[in-house]
Structure 1
């Protein structure tokens, strides 16, 4: 049966120690598993270790074949490894360490580290091939990113050191309450606290979630804390009021408003007429999100709108997303979508001079300015939920005052 182990040190040392003669483990580490003890009687001079590296568009089988491993050895080893690592296509640059008995011309085992600290070994045993997975102990850290808003918020967050996935999720979340296209001034700035996980010796394993966000936007201060609720994580202000709103004000990341709601000269037709939505310029292929929970009413081409999605929402409200290059597979009338779910991608189909999203909102059949739509009142934490939130908030606030930008501090579990 596959085993899950704690990995004490460098993965190549772990692999070699497991195969070669026993060696004392460092005092601060657990001893390596005795997975290769059955080979102790072999001529150690005939046992070799080598590393092969995956190129582009290569499978595990192809990589082992190119390394000269016989199919009779490669196939059962791949079968044992597959539950832990997809065998069809390996990440370019992924290193695979092979342990072989050159005298008998056979594979004894292999090891791979697909993510930092996560080590997978596959070994030959008297009863077949066995896979072991070693996971390092994770140490949670708290990191501060701080900077100014000079243009596209997503890029400014990245420039301040926030990892891409964290920055993207944060912009998407705050778009429920912040209009990142309008609420700017030269003094705007932000502070973000986020998680980072490292090994005991300091190696980076992964970045976690944003836990606190503060924005100063055109004289408005917005301070928010992440909190786990029975229905999932949400962002709350200091009084425990949720950031969650009925509609996203910006249904895509990193976009620029090029045309607002109102009369304008049409860029293609050349005459003045009412522009009944907002245009967001963005590169072709930029994901477009559902502005609110709803149901798909229409997917397809709609004249000058090009490829279009129309959603219906509670209270007789509808949203329209036009000029798309594509829509998500399986999206059809009747499909339920969640707020923030990707429903399509930016394009320039229909009457469009370049890639952009045309976004409309109608209330009771009347088109309204999306920028002026009033958000529903936020929910509010109460009782034990509020007490737990306030305890978390006080802990994060105490950590915040200790940190300089991109400095790290250990965080309690």
Structure 2
């Protein structure tokens, strides 16, 4: 009997303990849910606070910017006035008003490379153009100012009081073309132009050696204080490589100013040999890594070492079929020039202004900038030439020569060439 009583007591205790465990579990579950819910609410509040703070910070930063801003543009190959207007994000009616006003100015509808355009805008929503200026020549600018009375743009022609002076410079290359030119006070944009005109026939990282030299004659424009404020055309250039001269002369054709060799052959070809700002190639003579020739080279392309941010140009005109991340190639661009030729540019730090798939670009347009994206050990451009679907060594690529002047044009060129040679002799004599 005592045993039965004991068993009952044990059962009662077990039931009581079970009830306590059940109650404890329920309380813990409620507390856990409550804590979880509170944490979730706190997280949501935190997110909302961050969003609010970000919006507030953005609003503060925006308000810190001046209401009136001047925005400057330098024209690149393929740019149009309308394309630049689109970058300003002005309303359609404002854009229409501006385009209507400039329609009678032919020079604005035919912009040239490095031409300068400036806009003064009111940033209050919506964005309004108060005035804009378009460079007509080195000494003339057309300024358009918005009139509140007529709600139209009135224009005035501004004449700069500049004096044209012809400069003559020459130097030996001991490290790189760029550093040699900077050492004798040649303006960076002139060096870049020099590299561009030789970029069709010279590989600046492999064809230039220590003790090579160059000569250059170009236009400069001075203000009243005799300070150079602008530079113009390169009249004459000569790159002397291993004792061999490569003189080039400026000549005006129907298409504009071009450079020709002494036989009247244009330097321009369908593809450039150096699709990069050759003036700024950083690899000096001691840095070349090929065991025999001393340069970086991959089996399916050519590598050009250069500082991050160095401009990369379209080696030829064509359609951009790729402008995106390319795996090991990082940020890359592929251009289809025609049914035969395509080119690839890899490891870019960023793409050029307005560069995207589907657009057409002209030879020499900046399509991107040197970087080290993707599988890369340092800043450089990896350049590939594809012929009929097959990657080939760009060094071995044989392209048709540029146009050759004939008939009356050739006669005029020969006269102009003699004038340039006389000018060169006079400038050298002045120095001596």
Does structure 1 residue 361 correspond to structure 2 residue 388?
A: no
Task: Considering fraction of residues, name the structure with more strand.
Answer: 1
Aligned residues: 291
Does structure 1 residue 250 correspond to structure 2 residue 274?
A: yes
Query: Per-residue displacement from partner, 1:269-327 (whole Å, max 9, x unpaired)?
Result: xxxx9631111122222211111111111111121111111111235111111111211
Aligned to 1:209: 233
Does structure 1 residue 381 correspond to structure 2 residue 411?
A: no
Deviation of the 1:341 alpha carbon: 0.7
Deviation of the 1:145 alpha carbon: 0.8
Distance 2:384 2:241 in 1: 25
- Conserved? CA contact 2:315–2:363, under 8 Å: yes
Larger RCO, structure (CA 8 Å, separation 6 or more): 1
Does structure 1 residue 159 correspond to structure 2 residue 180?
A: no
Give the greater-gyration-radius structure (CA). Answer: 2
Aligned to 1:298: 322
2:382 aligned counterpart, secondary structure: strand
Does structure 1 residue 402 correspond to structure 2 residue 423?
A: no
1:249 aligned counterpart, secondary structure: coil
- Which among 326, 345, 370 is matched to residue 350 of structure 2? 326
- Conserved? CA contact 2:139–2:162, under 8 Å: no
149-158 vs 252-261, greater mean Cα deviation: 252-261
Distance 1:319 1:146 in 2: 34
Distance 1:251 1:117 in 2: 31
Within 5 Å, which residues of 2 pair with 1:309-324?
Answer: 309-324=333-348
Deviation of the 1:176 alpha carbon: 0.6
- Which among 237, 243, 255 is matched to residue 231 of structure 1? 255
Distance 1:226 1:202 in 2: 26
Distance 2:258 2:120 in 1: 37
Query: Per-residue displacement from partner, 1:332-354 (whole Å, max 9, x unpaired)?
Result: 33311111111111121111122
Deviation of the 1:159 alpha carbon: 2.1
- Conserved? CA contact 2:310–2:369, under 8 Å: yes
Distance 1:165 1:365, change over 3 A: same
Distance 1:306 1:200, change over 3 A: closer
Deviation of the 1:249 alpha carbon: 1.3
RMSD: 3.7
- Conserved? CA contact 1:117–1:205, under 8 Å: no
Deviation of the 1:118 alpha carbon: 8.8
1:194 aligned counterpart, secondary structure: strand
Aligned to 1:287: 311
Deviation of the 1:387 alpha carbon: 2.2
- Which among 243, 251, 265 is matched to residue 241 of structure 1? 265
Distance 2:142 2:265 in 1: 45
Distance 1:61 1:313 in 2: 39
Distance 1:117 1:339, change over 3 A: closer
Query: Per-residue displacement from partner, 1:106-151 (whole Å, max 9, x unpaired)?
Result: xxxxxxxxxx999999xxxxx9xx9977634544321101101122
Runs ≥4 in structure 1, deviation > 6 angstroms?
57-62, 116-121, 130-133, 257-262
157-166 vs 238-247, greater mean Cα deviation: 157-166
- Conserved? CA contact 1:143–1:406, under 8 Å: no
Within 5 Å, which residues of 2 pair with 1:90-109?
Answer: none
- Conserved? CA contact 2:344–2:384, under 8 Å: yes
Deviation of the 1:369 alpha carbon: 0.8
Aligned to 1:48: none
Distance 2:416 2:281 in 1: 33
Distance 1:229 1:166 in 2: 21
1:284 aligned counterpart, secondary structure: coil
Normalised by the length of structure 2, the TM-score is 0.59
Aligned to 2:126: none
- Conserved? CA contact 1:261–1:369, under 8 Å: no
2:345 aligned counterpart, secondary structure: strand
Deviation of the 1:203 alpha carbon: 5.5
Deviation of the 1:357 alpha carbon: 1.1
Distance 1:405 1:354, change over 3 A: farther
- Conserved? CA contact 1:144–1:405, under 8 Å: no
Distance 1:401 1:152, change over 3 A: same
Query: Per-residue displacement from partner, 1:49-93 (whole Å, max 9, x unpaired)?
Result: xxxxxxxx877799xxxxxxxxxxxxxxxxxxxx9975459xxxx
Task: Considering fraction of residues, name the structure with more helix.
Answer: 2
Aligned to 2:209: 185
